[in-house]
């Protein structure tokens, strides 16, 4: 039975959603194509109708996740509080792809690195636009510094086995960013 164009697009979106979540949760190497396809409710054989290889899936799912990763039109301070929260820290599969995958991207293909590069450029521009326009702060420097601090804080908060220290890393980074961009 032939699958409609609409169903093909829906299947592809479902594969990308599942792969993005799985990669963020477990890392690139710990997730197999068969696992992604099963979680998407599709057969392994259908994979090659959408992607040329696992490397292609990695690059495309990363681009997909980064395109969806945004703080919308809210206030920057609200985004910082939400991003540097225990709920985000404790749910990497549903969290930021940059915090979940940035350290591992150096071992990936140029296409995956390119997707991360574009995601970083886009997020810096979004933050730069959202920062207060008081002229006292170099907005690009503040955007890059804030984003780097946020990513680093989430990575560190996830890496430690001391819940108090983990919470403190998030809290102190939120306070530091607030002090820098007010």
Q: What is the pLDDT of residue 135?
A: 63
Is the same domain home to 48 and 114? Answer: no
- The total of structural domains in the chain comes to 2
Is the same domain home to 157 and 134? Answer: yes
- C-alpha R_g of the chain: 18
Q: What is the pLDDT of residue 180?
A: 87
Identify whether the C-beta of residue 131 lies closer than 8 Å to the C-beta of residue 144: no
| Model confidence pLDDT, tens digit, residues 68-111 | 766 666 788 999 999 999 999 999 999 999 999 999 999 999 99
Q: Which residue has the tokens 């636009």?
A: 129
Q: What is the pLDDT of residue 72?
A: 60
All residues at 6 or more sequence positions from 20 whose CB lies less than 8 Å from its CB, including other chains? 61, 62, 64, 65, 97
What is the separation of C-alpha 25 from the centre of its chain, rounded to a whole number of angstroms?
11
Q: Residue 10 is part of which domain span? A: 5-65
Is the same domain home to 88 and 174? Answer: yes
Output 68 or 30, whichever has higher pLDDT. 30
State which of 65, 82, 103 marks the end of a domain. 65
Percent of the chain beyond pLDDT 90? 79
CATH number of residue 42's parent domain = 1.10.10.60
Span 5-17, mean pLDDT? 93
Q: What is the pLDDT of residue 181?
A: 83
The residue among 26, 43, 30, 27 whose CA lies nearest residue 15 is 43
| Model confidence pLDDT, tens digit, residues 130-174 | 888 766 568 899 999 999 999 999 999 999 999 999 999 999 999
Q: Where are the beta strands (DSSP E) in 53-180?
A: none
Is the same domain home to 46 and 74? Answer: no
Give yes or no for residue 1 having a pLDDT over 80. no
């Amino acid at each position: 039975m032939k699958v409609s164009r609409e169903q093909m697009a829906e299947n592809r979106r479902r594969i990308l959603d599942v792969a993005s979540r799985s990669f963020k949760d477990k890392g690139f190497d710990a997730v197999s194509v068969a696992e992604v396809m099963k979680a998407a409710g599709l057969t392994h054989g259908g994979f090659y109708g959408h992607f040329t290889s696992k490397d292609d899936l990695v690059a495309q799912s990363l681009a997909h996740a980064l395109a969806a990763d945004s703080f919308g039109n809210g206030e920057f301070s609200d985004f910082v509080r939400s991003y540097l929260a225990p709920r985000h820290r404790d749910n990497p599969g549903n969290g930021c792809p940059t915090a979940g995958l940035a350290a591992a991207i150096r071992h990936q293909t140029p296409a995956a690195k390119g997707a991360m590069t574009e995601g970083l450029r886009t997020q810096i521009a979004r933050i730069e636009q959202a920062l207060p326009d008081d002229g006292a702060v170099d907005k690009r420097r503040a955007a890059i510094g804030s984003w780097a601090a946020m990513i680093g804080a989430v990575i560190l908060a996830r890496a430690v086995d001391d819940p108090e220290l983990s919470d403190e890393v998030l809290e102190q980074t939120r306070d530091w960013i607030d002090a820098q961009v007010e």
